[in-house]
Amino acid sequence: MEQKTFQDYYPEDVSHCYGCGKDNKHGLQIKSYWDGEETYAIFNPKPYHTATKGYVYGGLIASLIDCHGTGTASAAMYKKEGREMDTKPTLRFVTASLHIDFLKPTPIGTPLEIRGKTEEITDRKVVVTETVSAKGKVCAKGKVVAVLMPKNML
Amino acid sequence: MEQKTFQDYYPEDVSHCYGCGKDNKHGLQIKSYWDGEETYAIFNPKPYHTATKGYVYGGLIASLIDCHGTGTASAAMYKKEGREMDTKPTLRFVTASLHIDFLKPTPIGTPLEIRGKTEEITDRKVVVTETVSAKGKVCAKGKVVAVLMPKNML
């Protein structure tokens, strides 16, 4: 059985994010999974997602870290509460802060692997650290501080 | 006479960035200008650049801060050297680190104003702080540490 992605569980009204909404036809449609205690996503940049020739544009890397981070936060909070991701109330997160260190140019034309780790989890906040790798080499590191989405955004 | 944008001065081989390259047909084509000692860019998100309904996707805000930051870094370094932006050698920057604090949800459907300030400038590094505002209200703050592009990327 194919594992469902975190984003498959997002209710329809929060499935239009350009980064990770499965219902945003123009978007990146990032898909995140558990892998043991860590999470991961694989993303194939389009040929036009360039910075300079041959390298991936930093804003895309920021987007991958951002959306995989909030996805990881959501999955981690459900896990903490001992609930499945399709149960109510819905736990969706927004980014309070995002930090990225670009360690080396990220080559384009190869799948990128984004891996996330939950560093801290409280009642309404999750801190996720991430790496973005190409061909097994870490090209960027990121940190997302995610907070539960305000009710007026849900 | 219309003011040229920083990006208009980028040589052709570094004008394909998805965020700010004037030759990237698929990209955001961010355009940055001087306004006294500060810099600014105005960007109109597309209707599909959503996070949740009515709000701008954080990855786009990260992209605006990133590319306006490296553009500001470039312009500031030329200014420091007392040179016009179309003179050689070319001064193009890459992002070493990017930090964003999302202060409040950013409404979609209105132009965003990105403003940049050079906080620090050395021989090869420029630190730029930025704000992203909608309808006169600051929705996000950012900081870009930009370093001169390695010669093998130019």
Domains of chain A are 6-153 (3.10.129.10)
Q: Which distant-in-sequence residues (6+ apart) come within 8 Å of A63 by Cβ?
A: A18, A19, A28, A30, B57, B58, B59, B60, B62, B63
CA distance B67 to B87: 21
Under an 8 A CB cutoff, do A50 and B102 touch? Answer: no
User: B98 - beta bridge partners?
Assistant: A100, B144
What residues of chain A lie within 8 A of the CB of B105, using their CB? Answer: 94, 150, 153
pLDDT at A41: 98
CA distance A105 to A57: 9
Q: How far does A7 lie from chain B, in Å, by closest CA?
A: 13
Amino acid identity of A7? Q
pTM: 0.96
CA distance A123 to A147: 9
Q: How far does A119 lie from chain B, in Å, by closest CA?
A: 18
Reported ipTM: the value is 0.95
What residues of chain A lie within 8 A of the CB of B68, using their CB? Answer: none
Q: Taking the mean position of all CA atoms in its chain, how far away is CA A13?
A: 18
Which residue of A98, A128, A132, A154 is the best one to mutate when testing the B interface, meaning the one whose CB has the most B CBs within 10 A? A98
pLDDT in tens, A74-92: 999 999 999 999 999 999 9
**Contact (CB, 8 A) for B111 and B105:** no
pLDDT in tens, chain B (154 residues): 578 999 999 988 889 999 999 999 999 999 999 999 999 999 999 999 999 889 999 999 999 999 999 999 999 999 999 999 999 999 999 999 999 999 999 999 999 999 999 999 999 999 999 999 999 999 999 999 999 997 777 6
Under an 8 A CB cutoff, do B62 and A66 touch? Answer: yes
